[in-house]
Structure 1
C-alpha cells in the first residue's frame, strides 16, 4: 500500500469498527462502538438509526485519537440490506431501521411471488425479505409515505457528507438494480410499488463523494462498499475461481465471477462485487443467516459461556455422538431460501453432553457453508481450490477444521482481522489517489493458518448426507 493514512469504518449489525490504516505501518488506530438491535417476536429485528450514526462517529473519533495523526480520506462499509425512511431535508429518521435479518416483509414476498422469476432475472436476487426492496415496500405500506426510503448507508453518508449516493454493490442488494446495466430498474421498482421514489445516485466504490467533519477537521469521503464485498476485496479474491467466507453474525460465502454476472441455478445470489473506475466486477453470494448468532444463542442457554468455549468444550468428546444440529435459528438462506423455517436439534440421548452439542453446531455451520461452496462450484463450472476465511469465528480451530473436513479443501484463515474495514480502506485509498493500482491499494494477503482435511472424502460425504437429511425433514415439515 502507498499514500497517506486513511480512516476505514465498518458499520455492522452489532457494532462499528474503525481502523486508521497507514500504508507503511498497518493499523495505527483501532476502536469499536456497540450497536444494539432489538430482536422482537415474529422475526422482527430493528435498531434506532441514531445508534448507527453515533457508533460510526464514536468509533471513528476514538480510532483517530489512538492514531494521533491526520488521515487523507475515509471509507465507509455498510450492512447492505438494512433500511429506513428519513427526511432528506433535515436528515431526521422517520422510522427505525429494519435490520437485514428482519422478516416482517414475508407477506409482501408471498404477495409478489408471481414476479419472483422476473425479479431474479432482472436483479440476480431471489424474492426474500432479507433484501432491501421488500422491507422498503413494507415501510411504505405500513409506516410512512413521507421522505425517502433507502438502505442505511445512504442515510449515513448524507449525515456525514451531505451526499445522496450509494455504491453499486450496495445498490445490488436492494433487488431494485438492473444487474446487467448497473442502473435502477423501472420494472423492479414497479413490482414493489416504489416507482415514484427518489433514489440515490449509484457511484463507484472508490470515488470522492463529499467531505465530512464528523470526526474533526474535514476529511474527504472517498470509499463506499457493502460489507461482504469489502471483505472479498481485502482477501484479494479479485479473479474468477476463488472464494471467501466471512464468519460473523451470519456466514457469507462470495465467489468472484469476473466482469459478467453469472446467473446460476444452484440457489446462489448473483450480484455486483464492486464498481471501480466505471468497470463492474460480479460475484456469486451465499448466506448462512446464523453463525456467531447461533453461538450466542447457545451461550444464552448456558451451554457455553461464549465463542471462546467452542474449542475446549468441543474437545471433551471425539465427535457429535450422533447429534445433528441445523442451526436455522433465523431460517435457511441460500441455497434453500426458506426463511420461514426454524432450526432442529436431533439425535439427543441421556448421554448427550455440551461437547456433543457444540460439535453438532460447528458441523451445522460448516455443512451450510459446504453447501454454498458446492453450489458456487456448480454455477462456476469448476471446483473451488481453496476457501479464504475471516471473521470472529475463525478463531475456533474446531470450526475451521470441521470446515476443511466437510469441504475437502484447504481453509486459509486470514492473518488480518477486520477484513471488511481493510477492504473499504483500500477503496478509500483508491478514491483518494486514482493513480494507484488495485494491487498497490490492497493490503498484503497471507494466511495465519491453513487447515487441511483430516478425514477421507467418504466420511465427509456421510456427515454431509446426515445434515442434508435433517434439512430435508425441515423442508418437508416431517419429524426427523
Structure 2
C-alpha cells in the first residue's frame, strides 16, 4: 500500500507538518511556532534560518513513515535575498504584512507607473506584493549589492529559498510568482520592464515552473523522497476545499482573511479584487482566479486580547446585545491598512461611534462584525466579476467563533460550510502532491452549516460610511505629512 503524502504548511506564525492518506485521513505530525519581529513601525520580519530549520524538522519527523511524496505551501508575498554559493540569507525575510515600501509605491504611483503594473500583472501598486520589497533589499542592503555585482545574488519569495536549499533547484511556482508584481499574467514569465521599474535584477530571480509535478527531491530522514507540489497557502486551501470549478470560492479567516474564487482558463478583470494564478499542473494550462484580502482578521482579535478587551475566547463566542453596527458602533479592521477592494495602505484601524456607555464587550462585538463586513466587501468585489455559488467553505481560526461566522454568513448573503478539520491548507497541498504521483486523496467531509439571515437594515451602509471616514482620515493625515 502506498504511504502517506507529507504536506508542510509554512505559514505566517507557524510551520506545520501533516500526513495525508488516500482514504482522506489527515494526521497532524508536528507544529512549530516561529518568532515575529517588528523592528520598526510597519516592519514585519522572520528569521529565514529559523523557518528553514522548522521545515527540516518536519521532514525529520516524517522519517518514520513511508512517505510517498512531499508538498510545501508558502506565505505568498514574503521574500528575501541570499547568497547563491553559500545559501546564507542576506538579512531577514520581509513578511507580506510589511509596509516599509509604502513611500516607494506612492512615488511610483505619482510618476504614473500604476497602469503598467496593473495592466501586466493585474495587481495594484502596494507594498503587500514582493516586487517593492525585493527592490528595497537591492537598494538598502550593502551585502545584496555586493553579491549582485559578483553574480551571486538570489532573490525570491520564501518558497524559492526553501526549494533552493532543500532540492538544489532555484525555482518558484507560477501561482507564487503571480503575487510578486514581476510576472506578466499573459506570458506567465518575468517581465523585464517591471523588474527595471522596481529595481530587481532579472538574473537574480528563480525560474518559474508549475505548482505540481516533478519538482525535485528532498531528504526525509535517510530516504530521498519526490518533491511534487509547491503553492501559495491560500491557493492550497482553495484546492483543499475541493473548489475547482468557476464560481466556487472559499474564505480563510486566519491572521488575515482571504477570499479566493475560481474563474477559469483566462485571467479575469479585477473590480478591486485581484486576478491571480491558482495552480498549474505540469503539462497543463494554468487555472486563474480572483483574490481579495483583509490584512487583519485573527490578527485584530489577538491585538484586542493583548490590550485587554477580553481574556478568554469563550467570552466572545456570543453576545446578549443587538448587533453593534445597528447600535451605531463600528470597527474598521485596518490595523495594517485596507486591502481589497480599497487598496489604501495608509489607512489605520478605527472605532466609530464610541460613547461613555461603550463597554469592552461592545468593542469586541464591533470588532468581529467589522472583520466580517470587510470580508463581505471583498466577496462583493469578486461577485461583480464572477457569480459565486454557495455554500461557501470557510476555514481558519476565526471560523470556530459562532458569532463571527453567523455575522459573516449574513454579511456575505450566502450559507457557509465551516471546515470540519483544521488542516485544509495542508490537505490542498497534499492533494496536489499526491496527484502528481498518481495517487488520489479523498475530499474532506462536509463541515457544519451556517445559514445566512438578512443583514439588519442599514448595517452595510453604516459600515461603508465608517470605511469612508477611515479612508478620508488617512488621506488627510497623508496630506499633512507632506
TM-score by length of 2: 0.92
- Segments of structure 1 that go 5 or more residues without pairing to the other structure are none
Secondary structure of residue in 2 paired with 1:221: strand
Q: Is the aligned partner of 1:271 residue 2:276?
A: yes
Cα shift at 1:57: 1.9
Cα shift at 1:352: 1.8
Q: Is the aligned partner of 1:172 residue 2:178?
A: yes
Find the counterpart in structure 2 of residue 388 from structure 1: 393
Once the two structures are superposed, the pairs formed by residues 73-472 of structure 1 within 5 Å of their partners are 73-113=69-109, 114-143=112-141, 144-145=144-145, 146=147, 147-213=153-219, 215-264=221-270, 266-277=271-282, 278-311=284-317, 314-320=318-324, 321-380=327-386, 382-433=387-438, 441-454=440-453, 456-457=454-455, 459=456, 462-472=458-468
| More moved, 463-472 vs 341-350 | 341-350
Q: Cα–Cα, structure 1 residues 280 and 323, in superposed 2: closer, same or farther, change >3 Å?
A: same
Q: What is the CA–CA distance in structure 1 between the aligned matches of 2:343 and 2:465, rounded to whole Å?
A: 17
Asked whether the equivalents of residues 23 and 441 of structure 2 are also in contact (C-alpha less than 8 Å), the reply is no
Q: Cα–Cα, structure 1 residues 78 and 374, in superposed 2: closer, same or farther, change >3 Å?
A: same
Q: What is the CA–CA distance in structure 1 between the aligned matches of 2:170 and 2:428, rounded to whole Å?
A: 22
Find the counterpart in structure 1 of residue 479 from structure 2: none
Asked whether the equivalents of residues 48 and 92 of structure 2 are also in contact (C-alpha less than 8 Å), the reply is yes
Q: What is the CA–CA distance in structure 1 between the aligned matches of 2:285 and 2:393, rounded to whole Å?
A: 24
| More moved, 221-230 vs 18-27 | 18-27
Secondary structure of residue in 1 paired with 2:471: helix
| More moved, 206-215 vs 251-260 | 206-215
Asked whether the equivalents of residues 155 and 206 of structure 2 are also in contact (C-alpha less than 8 Å), the reply is no
* Residue-by-residue CA offset, 1:298-346 (whole Å, 9 max, x unaligned): 01011112544420xx424333243211111111001000111101012
* Residue-by-residue CA offset, 1:106-143 (whole Å, 9 max, x unaligned): 12112221111111110111110000001000111111
Q: What is the CA–CA distance in structure 2 between the aligned matches of 1:408 and 1:23, rounded to whole Å?
A: 35
Q: What is the CA–CA distance in structure 2 between the aligned matches of 1:41 and 1:307, rounded to whole Å?
A: 29
Asked whether the equivalents of residues 82 and 89 of structure 2 are also in contact (C-alpha less than 8 Å), the reply is yes
TM-score by length of 1: 0.92
Asked whether the equivalents of residues 235 and 419 of structure 1 are also in contact (C-alpha less than 8 Å), the reply is yes
Q: What is the CA–CA distance in structure 2 between the aligned matches of 1:26 and 1:469, rounded to whole Å?
A: 46
**Residue correspondences, number:** 462
Find the counterpart in structure 2 of residue 477 from structure 1: 473
Q: What is the CA–CA distance in structure 1 between the aligned matches of 2:377 and 2:45, rounded to whole Å?
A: 29
Asked whether the equivalents of residues 23 and 442 of structure 2 are also in contact (C-alpha less than 8 Å), the reply is no
Cα shift at 1:60: 3.8
Secondary structure of residue in 1 paired with 2:85: coil
Cα shift at 1:360: 0.5
Q: What is the CA–CA distance in structure 1 between the aligned matches of 2:208 and 2:380, rounded to whole Å?
A: 32
| More moved, 220-229 vs 210-219 | 210-219
Let me know the Cα RMSD of the aligned residues.
1.8
Cα shift at 1:191: 1.6
Cα shift at 1:94: 1.0
Q: What is the CA–CA distance in structure 1 between the aligned matches of 2:330 and 2:100, rounded to whole Å?
A: 29
- Segments of structure 2 that go 5 or more residues without pairing to the other structure are 148-152, 477-482
Q: What is the CA–CA distance in structure 1 between the aligned matches of 2:361 and 2:77, rounded to whole Å?
A: 35
Asked whether the equivalents of residues 422 and 443 of structure 1 are also in contact (C-alpha less than 8 Å), the reply is no
Secondary structure of residue in 2 paired with 1:44: coil
